[in-house]
Chains A and B, each alone.
Chain A
Amino acid sequence: MNKKSIEPLYLLLLIVTFLLMGISLYLIFIVTPTERTMGEVQKIFYFHVPSAWTAFLAFFIVCIASIVFLKTGDAKWDKLAGSSAEIGILFTTLVLITGPLWAKPVWHVYWTWDARLTTSFILWLIYIAYLMLRSYTADSERGARFAAVFGIIGFIDVPIVYMSIRWWRTLHPSPVMAGNEGSGLAPEMVRTLMVSLVTFTFLFCILLMFRYKVAMLKSTVDYIKSKMDS
C-alpha cells in the first residue's frame, strides 16, 4: 500500500461523517427551536446523548469481540475489543464532562449521585481498569484472554449496576431529568437528535477503523521485530 494515499472506504466514510456533522450542527443551532425552560444550554443534549449512545455501542462491541476471541482465539478480535474500549472511554469521558456542564445551570449543581450519573462514572472506571489490565499484562496471548474475560464481565455488569443503584436511591429525592428522553421533546428536537445519533455512529466507525489500523500496524511491527531477532 502506498502510504500517501488513503483507502477509498476511509475517504468515503470521512466525507460522509463531515457532511453529517455539518448537517447536525446546522440543525442543532439554526433549525431546532430553543427549549423554553432551560434555554440555549439544552442544546448540549444533542451531543451529550449521542456520546452516551456511542460509548454504549463501543462497550457492546468490546463484549461481543471478547466473546468471539475466547471462542476462536483469533488475535484480531482482541485488537478490535481493545480499540473499541479506548474509543468508548473517550466518549464516556465526553459524557461525564458535558453532563455536569449541562447540569450546573439547570440543576445548580455539577453533579448528583443519581443512578444514571453514578452508573456512567462506574462504567468509566470499569473500562479504565480494562485498559490498565491490557497494558499491564506482559504475556500478550494470556493477557488477551484476561482482557476478554474482564471485558465480558464488565459489560454484563453495567445494567446490573444501574438497576442496583436505582433501587438503592429510591428512598432519596432524585433530580427530575427535566425535558429528557421523549417526555417533553418537540418533534423537531427528536429529529435533530436522530441525525446527531447517526452522525456520532459514523464518527465512531471512523475512529474505530483508525484505531484498529494502529493496533494491526503495531502487531506487524512487533512480528517483524521478533522475526529479525530470532
Chain B
Amino acid sequence: MAAFRQIFAILRKDLLLELRSKEVLTTMLVFALVVVVLFNFVFDPGAEEVKVTAPGILWVAIVFAGNLGLSRTFAREQENGVIQGLLLCPIDRSYLFVAKVLGNIIFIFLLEVVILPVMIVLFDVHIGGAWPMLLLVLLLGIIGFASVGTVFSAISANTKSREVMLPILLFPVTIPVILSSIKSTAYLFAGRELSEVWSWLRVLVGFDVVFFVVCFILYEYVIEE
C-alpha cells in the first residue's frame, strides 16, 4: 500500500507541475501538429496512399513529440535540484521509475487523444466502432516507448550534448514497439477483423513487457549519483 502512496505522490507532483505551466503538453501538441502538416506535403492530399500511410504519420508525430516531451520532463527535474531531492526521499528507486513512466505515459496519451481526432478529420479516416480498441492500441503503444524513454532521458540529460542525444538513443531501440503500434493502428484504420488486430497487439504487449522489465531493473544505475 505504501508503494502505491509513494508512486502516487510523485505522480501527483509531476501532474500538478504540468497542470500549472502546461509547458510540456503545449510544446508536444504544437510540434505534433507541425509534423502532421509537413507530412501532408509528402503525399498528394486525397490520394489513396494517404490512407495507407496515415497510421505511420500518426505514430511518427507521436514519437517525435513524445521525444520532445521526455527530454523536457527530465530537464525540469534537474532544475533546482529536484532529482537530488527525490533521491534523498526514503523511496525505493523502482517506485520512482514507475511513477516517472506513468507520468510520461499520461502526457503522451493526452497528446494522442488530442492529435487522433485531428488526424481523423485531416486524413479522412473511418474507424467505425473500433474506438475502444484504438484507444487501447494508443495506450499500449507508448508503454514500451515511455519506459525506455524515461531511462534514456535521464542518460541524455547528463551528456555534453543534452537533449540532442535522446532521439539518437531512443528511436533505434524502440523501433519494435513503434512498428507494432503502426501495424495495429493500420489494421484498425483499414477496418480489419479484430482477431487480426489482436495478433499484433499480442506482439506489442510482449515488447512492452520486455522493455518495461529491463528498464525497471536498470533505472537505479542511471539515476545514482
Contact = CB atoms under 8 A, between A and B. Distances in A.
A–B direct touch, CB within 8 Å, in complex?
yes
B51 interface: no
Contacts of B165: 129, 132-133, 136
A41 interface: no
Given A70-B221, A132-B168, A153-B151, A163 B215 contact: no
B222 A149 contact: yes
A157 B222 contact: no
Nearest to A135: B160
Interface residues of B, number: 27
A203 interface: no
A70 B158 CA distance: 18
A124 to B, nearest CB: 9
B148 interface: yes
A101 to B, nearest CB: 24
Contact of A152 (B155, B161, B207, B218): B218
Interface stretch (B40-48, B92-100, B118-126, B174-182): B174-182
Interface in B160-187: 160-161, 165, 168-169, 172-173, 175-176, 179-180, 183
A107 interface: no
A156 B203 contact: no
Interface stretch (A7-15, A137-145, A172-180): A137-145
A20 interface: no
B221 A137 contact: no
A154 B215 CA distance: 11
Q: Shortest 8 CB-CB distances between A and B: which pairs?
A: A164-B176, A136-B159, A146-B155, A125-B172, A136-B160, A160-B176, A126-B172, A149-B218
27 contacts: A70-B218, A122-B172, A122-B175, A126-B172, A129-B165, A132-B165, A132-B168, A136-B159, A138-B159, A138-B160, A139-B158, A142-B158, A146-B155, A148-B221, A149-B155, A149-B218, A149-B221, A150-B152, A150-B155, A152-B218, A153-B151, A153-B214, A153-B215, A164-B176, A164-B179, A165-B175, A168-B183
